[in-house]
Amino acid sequence: MAERKVIVPNPIIIPEGRLSFFKGNEASYKRNKQGQEIKVDPRTGKEKKPQFGWTWLIDPTKVWFPGFLKELKSEAARQLDIFFDVTDPSQRKDKWPQDNKQTGTKGIYQCWGNGNDLNKVYEGYKDMFYVKVASTDRPVLGNSKGGVTVLGDKEHPYGGCYARGRIGLYVFNNESAGVNANPYSCFFLKDGPGFGGGQQRSAEEEYAAFGDAPASQEAAEDPFAT
């Protein structure tokens, strides 16, 4: 059995992105189409571990985006070259797994792409660039000043908010080959509308929303009274 290569990733900074499918507080298992947790890999029979993860939605019109994208692709290529023993970029076609037009399978899976190209364009993905991240290790979650936060803090990251963070790429090659990303950190930047019509609300905001509510149930007018 060939010795597994240890490739030290160069962390990549995401200056700003919106958090989608956010599961950064508690690790959870992936689910199948029937909604059942996948605790055992059906292909290998090996036990799977729950993961933390989410998808970064990034605005490609940001002035820093071209540099970020170049860094992302360059780091992926660097790791793929090391993994597949490529010493000259011209060798990549022979050593990297290639697309199979007959079967329609991709040679190299990438955990990023354009939201408009997905088979299903989820809420918030239109015209956005996305990067999926997942890890069995707990990421660092914090506020806009860099302080570590916990669920319930006013500036704790949540699905729909805007944040910045760091990720690390890694190459895999089992039933398929490609590049995935681990989340290292995620720091809240500003509030954003929650997905599915929800939104983040603080206790203070909820209390203030009562405004001039009647002091008692009896004082309220019943709109259904006959």
Distance in angstroms (rounded) separating the CA atoms of residues 29 and 21 = 13
Q: What is the mean pLDDT of the chain?
A: 86
**All domains of the chain, ordered by start, with CATH?**
12-26+47-192 (2.40.50.140)
DSSP 11-61: -EEEEEEEEEEEEEEEEE--B-TTS-B--B-TTT-PBP--EEEEEEEE-TT
pLDDT at 18 over 80: yes
Whether pLDDT at 60 is above 80: yes
pLDDT exceeds 90 at position 75: yes
> 177 forms bridges with which residues in the sheet?
173
Whether 226 has a pLDDT exceeding 80, the answer reads no
Given this model, what pLDDT does residue 217 score? 44
- pLDDT value at position 11? 97
Distance CA 63, CA 50 (A): 36
Helices (H), 52-167: 65-83, 92-95
Phi, psi of 13 (to 5 degrees): -90, 135
Residue 149 has pLDDT above 70, yes or no: yes
pTM of the model: 0.82
CB half-sphere exposure, 181, CA atoms < 13 A: 28
Higher pLDDT, 85 or 202: 85
Q: How confident is the model at residue 192 (pLDDT cuts 50, 70, 90)?
A: very high
Report the alpha-carbon angle 5-24-75, nearest 5: 35
Check: CB of residue 106 under 8 Å from CB of residue 99.
Answer: yes
pLDDT on residue 42? 78
Percent of the chain with pLDDT over 90: 65
pLDDT at 154: 93
If you average pLDDT over each of 62-76, 86-100, 209-223, which comes out highest? Answer: 62-76
